[in-house]
A and B are shown apart, each in its own frame.
Chain A
Amino acid sequence: MKDTLVSRRAVLAGTAAAGALGLCGFPARAEPQWKKYAGTTIEANLIKGPRGELLQKYASEFTDLTGIKVESEVIPEQQQRQKAVIELTSGRPSFDVIHVSYHVQKRQFEKAGWLADLSAFMKDPNLTAPDLTVDDFSAGGLQFARNDKGEMHSLPWSVDYFILYWNKELFAKKGVTLPKTFDEMAVAAEKLNDPANGIYGFTGRGLRNANMTLWTNFFLNYGGEFLDDKGNILTDGPEAIEATKMYQRLLTRTAPPGVAGFNWMESMASLTQGRAAMWIDGVGWAPPIEDPNASRVVGKIGYALVPAGPKGQYSAAYGDGVGIAQASTKKEAAYLYCQWAVSKTMGARLLQSGGGVPFRNSVLNDDAVRKGVKMPPEWLDSVIGSAKISKLGLPVIVPVAEFRDIVGAAVTATLSGADPATELKKAHEQFRPILERSEKS
């Protein structure tokens, strides 16, 4: 009853506002001047995937709202990152808005000064809607978007938390319960492992580079920190060694053969074909898992937090945002687009389709939005739970790709029996000069 009253009041208020707007002939003070840049055309460079495609799909709504035309270019992730860097280096990028992968590009973009500072725009009521405030972004999002001076150089759009996918049917068959710690998980995986019938206890990324996103979740839960106060990399310490031993144990004893070459695609195939009992990866894979055309385990998968390690329980987070090229001449129009991209409407669509998780608390905490989520309720719980324990999944440095390749190769090598301590030491020595060179330049 109370709900009805509130909503009725809201409707009345809305009607009154609309009436006032009609009488005055210009927008109410609370709203930005959406139409001020009508007739402008902006270019947006987006990453192919649920996030980028969502923005492209609804771009006409933005044009209706503002009169600004958007030319969206949607490119596969790796190529998009290359294109962005090459064009931004040239000083004359072909785009105004750029979709940024924070976990790979944050430091690189900040050092090069490629993105425009949005702090002033965010304070300008003519440009920014009152509900878009810095505080509305989660801590992780702000960690990604702000530079060390506290300036916002992009708007955080979507976050990817690592969660545990588990096959309830296989668990029930063997009488195993959901593990709460890594040790329990290893024991559970060994019980569930049944190679004779083609079923394995655990699956996950083993492929060099790709495997780092999974490995770092182990590293974090074993108490690992990527960098010390002086910016030195710390991936050969006891935490890293212990984390690698656990990773090695799971992926050599209880994972499908060939896991050293698995990326998310192969891992997901094992899970969706009912051949793997557990999988740790990003939250965004729920839609294909729950799609009867692509999966044999629809309705059988549980979603849970990544189990705790001896030094804590974290969810490795990776994220992306939208920023404006410093070289753009249409920054205001581009800013309106960025604002629309991270708006509540678009955030709700993102969450409800299961394609990602918006960084804005007001979207996540909205009951109406939550009710519209098409994924199982457990999935949403795992998302909200992960948000509370999230930590950045990769070090904030320029040579992230080299880091992933070099340490990733060491971690992959342990899957063929190499000793974790020796491999990590070797990788550390190989990577340290690269990091030093990049920080010097």
Chain B
Amino acid sequence: MSTIAEPAKVTAGAKGEPQREWRPPSYWPFVAPALIVVLAVIIFPWAYTIWMSLHEWKVGSPTTFVGLANYIRLPSDARFVESVWHTLVYTALSVALPLLFGTLAAVVFHAKFPMRGFLRGLFILPMMATPVAIALVWTMMFHPQLGILNYLLSLIGLPPQLWVFHPATVIPSLVMVETWQWTPLVMLIVLGGLAAIPSEPYESALIDGATRWQTFRYISLPLIMPFLFIASMIRMIDAVKSFDIIFAITQGGPGSASETINLYLYSVAFVYYDVGYASAIVVVFFALIVALAGALLHLRQRTHWNDAGGVA
């Protein structure tokens, strides 16, 4: 019976008092489902991963507690250190390039011209394709002897390239695939931003005699900045955890020239079955993602729309 009376109390309390009051135990059953889900799918796997990272845990052998030994192994593991570096380079390029091209494309598609809807649709096609499928197509296009890319280069008189088959060009080539696939996503986000800008600032800029570049630089860009941050956040998270494209095209090769943390992690866990060490890598990887996301969020805080409608 009391459960019926309680909601009335809450409504009464919610009027003026702060929300952080202690709730009576009769509320707990309503929180429990969410709590159980969070515990089961987020907290428990995490705690278990940390637990595993403190063990020498090889599939098929007994496990032994080794303390922080797995973490101590990390800095001296050349392959791991190299993979961190590859991840950072890969992520930086895979965020910056789609952001640049996506914004450009958004500006183009924001203007009105015939067949705009159809061309927009065409432009976002790569985003809809399955990464592994497109990776296989790109693999054939990258083939130094038989691929179409070198043929296209030869048409404009450029020498053939080794693309993903050479350590020096493998990451830029993979970023090219990533950029091709994810520029449309950035375009869509920025397009939403551009559509939300009222027309008055542009009209007054026109009256003041601003050039097109000035209009973009001083009106459009500041106003779409929050959208660019959202786009870069999404791209950053995607790029850091990128696996499918790299795995399907190079498997981290040649040598380990395109091995990111994710690929190395996969090898350690599912090829070498060294679960303890892999868990230690996961923990460090997670810390890295949190740090990157934190840095971006911090920047985002500084560029939010202020009450006046402009950007602080």
Q: How large is the interface on B (under 10, 10 to 19, 20 to 34, 35 or more residues)?
A: 20 to 34
Q: Are B145 and A273 in contact (CB under 8 A)?
A: yes
In the complex, number of A-B residue pairs with CB atoms less than 8 Å apart: 84
Residue of A nearest to B271 (CB): A401
Could you give, for residues 259-282 of chain A, a 1 whenever the CB lies within 8 Å of some chain B CB and a 0 otherwise? Answer: 111100010011001010000000
Q: Are B146 and A208 in contact (CB under 8 A)?
A: no
Q: Are A402 and B145 in contact (CB under 8 A)?
A: no
Using Cβ atoms and an 8 Å threshold, which residues of chain B touch A82? 270-271
Could you give, for residues 27-51 of chain A, a 1 whenever the CB lies within 8 Å of some chain B CB and a 0 otherwise? Answer: 0000000000000000000000000
Q: Are A206 and B254 in contact (CB under 8 A)?
A: yes
Q: Are A405 and B267 in contact (CB under 8 A)?
A: yes
Residue B60 at the chain A interface, CB threshold 8 Å: yes
Given contacts A85-B59, A262-B165, contact A256 B144 (CB under 8 A): yes
Residue B272 at the chain A interface, CB threshold 8 Å: yes
Residue B273 at the chain A interface, CB threshold 8 Å: yes
The main secondary structure of chain A at its interface with chain B is helix
Considering only residues 67-85 of chain A, those with a C-beta below 8 Å from chain B are 78, 82, 85
Q: Are B143 and A266 in contact (CB under 8 A)?
A: yes
Q: How large is the interface on A (under 10, 10 to 19, 20 to 34, 35 or more residues)?
A: 35 or more
Q: Are B60 and A85 in contact (CB under 8 A)?
A: yes
A355 to chain B, nearest CB (A): 22
Using Cβ atoms and an 8 Å threshold, which residues of chain B touch A262? 165
Residue A147 at the chain B interface, CB threshold 8 Å: no
Using Cβ atoms and an 8 Å threshold, which residues of chain B touch A86? 59
B271 to chain A, nearest CB (A): 5
Could you give, for residues 255-296 of chain B, a 1 whenever the CB lies within 8 Å of some chain A CB and a 0 otherwise? Answer: 110000000000100111100000000000000000000000
Complexed CA–CA distance, A441 and B60 (Å)? 10
A105 to chain B, nearest CB (A): 11
B116 to chain A, nearest CB (A): 41
Complexed CA–CA distance, A438 and B59 (Å)? 11
Complexed CA–CA distance, A208 and B62 (Å)? 30
Considering only residues 54-69 of chain B, those with a C-beta below 8 Å from chain A are 56, 58-62
Complexed CA–CA distance, A401 and B146 (Å)? 30
Using Cβ atoms and an 8 Å threshold, which residues of chain A touch B162? 257-258, 261
Complexed CA–CA distance, A441 and B62 (Å)? 8
Given contacts A258-B162, A261-B164, A401-B271, contact A275 B58 (CB under 8 A): no
Q: Are B166 and A275 in contact (CB under 8 A)?
A: no
Residue A399 at the chain B interface, CB threshold 8 Å: yes
Residue A237 at the chain B interface, CB threshold 8 Å: no
Residue A89 at the chain B interface, CB threshold 8 Å: yes
Residue A22 at the chain B interface, CB threshold 8 Å: no
Q: Are B60 and A111 in contact (CB under 8 A)?
A: yes
Using Cβ atoms and an 8 Å threshold, which residues of chain A touch B58? 438, 441
Using Cβ atoms and an 8 Å threshold, which residues of chain A touch B271? 78, 82, 401, 405
Given contacts A89-B60, A275-B146, contact A260 B255 (CB under 8 A): yes
Complexed CA–CA distance, A109 and B184 (Å)? 48
Q: Are A409 and B255 in contact (CB under 8 A)?
A: yes
Using Cβ atoms and an 8 Å threshold, which residues of chain A touch B144? 256-258
| Contact partner, A257, options B59, B165, B255, B272, Cβ 8 Å | B165
Residue B250 at the chain A interface, CB threshold 8 Å: yes
| Contact partner, B61, options A409, A412, A441, Cβ 8 Å | A441
Complexed CA–CA distance, A405 and B255 (Å)? 9
Complexed CA–CA distance, A85 and B163 (Å)? 35
Q: Are A412 and B163 in contact (CB under 8 A)?
A: no
A257 to chain B, nearest CB (A): 5
Residue B167 at the chain A interface, CB threshold 8 Å: yes
Q: Are B256 and A409 in contact (CB under 8 A)?
A: yes
Could you give, for residues 392-409 of chain A, a 1 whenever the CB lies within 8 Å of some chain B CB and a 0 otherwise? Answer: 000000010110010001
Residue of A nearest to B266 (CB): A82
Residue of B nearest to A440 (CB): B61
Q: Are B160 and A260 in contact (CB under 8 A)?
A: no
Q: Chain A CB within 10 Å — which of B166, B167, B273 has the most?
A: B273
Q: Are B254 and A89 in contact (CB under 8 A)?
A: no
Complexed CA–CA distance, A208 and B257 (Å)? 10
Using Cβ atoms and an 8 Å threshold, which residues of chain A touch B145? 198, 256-258, 269-270, 273, 275
Residue B179 at the chain A interface, CB threshold 8 Å: no
Q: Are B253 and A257 in contact (CB under 8 A)?
A: no
Instruction: Give 10 nearest A-B pairs by CB, closest first.
Output: A258-B165, A261-B165, A258-B144, A441-B61, A260-B254, A112-B60, A261-B254, A401-B271, A258-B162, A412-B255
**29 examples of A-B residue contacts, CB within 8 angstroms:** A85-B59, A85-B60, A88-B60, A89-B59, A112-B60, A198-B145, A207-B251, A207-B253, A207-B254, A208-B252, A208-B256, A258-B143, A258-B163, A258-B165, A260-B167, A260-B254, A261-B165, A261-B253, A261-B254, A262-B165, A270-B145, A270-B146, A273-B145, A275-B146, A401-B267, A415-B254, A441-B56, A441-B61, A441-B62
13 further contact pairs, Cβ within 8 A, besides A206-B254, A258-B162, A399-B272: A85-B59, A85-B60, A88-B60, A89-B60, A256-B145, A257-B144, A258-B145, A261-B170, A261-B254, A266-B143, A269-B146, A412-B255, A415-B254
